[in-house]
A = this chain, B = another copy of it.
Amino acid sequence: MAEKTYFYHVGCDVCADAERQFANNLDKTKFEIERVHLGEKPARRAEAKAAGVKTVPAFVIAGKPYHINFGANLADLK
């Protein structure tokens, strides 16, 4: 069964690039990816933070955070 996976981003260039190269190209039989824009959905920030996400873009796979390059600090989002 595909692992429920989260891709957190804020629509930034670094985020879009990470989405294009990674989120769009991971094996769909293994990962079911939900893309979450934390700028548009501030209510979702708590779950990202709880999973250990410090910066975006980042994936959470099996409860673990994977930060890809640096777009923005979660703590800096308004």
A→B interface (CB under 8 Å): 17-18, 21-22, 25-27, 30-31, 59, 61, 64-69
Q: A25-B30, A26-B25 are in contact. Are A66 and B66 (CB under 8 A)?
A: no
The residue in chain B whose Cβ has the minimal distance to the Cβ of A61 is B21
How many monomers of this protein are in the complex?
Answer: 2
Tell me, in angstroms, the Cα distance from A18 to B64 when the chains sit together: 11
Tell me, in angstroms, the Cα distance from A18 to B61 when the chains sit together: 11
The residue in chain B whose Cβ has the minimal distance to the Cβ of A18 is B66
Tell me, in angstroms, the Cα distance from A68 to B61 when the chains sit together: 13
Q: Which residues of B contact A61 (CB under 8 A)?
A: 21
Contact B27 A66 (CB under 8 A): no
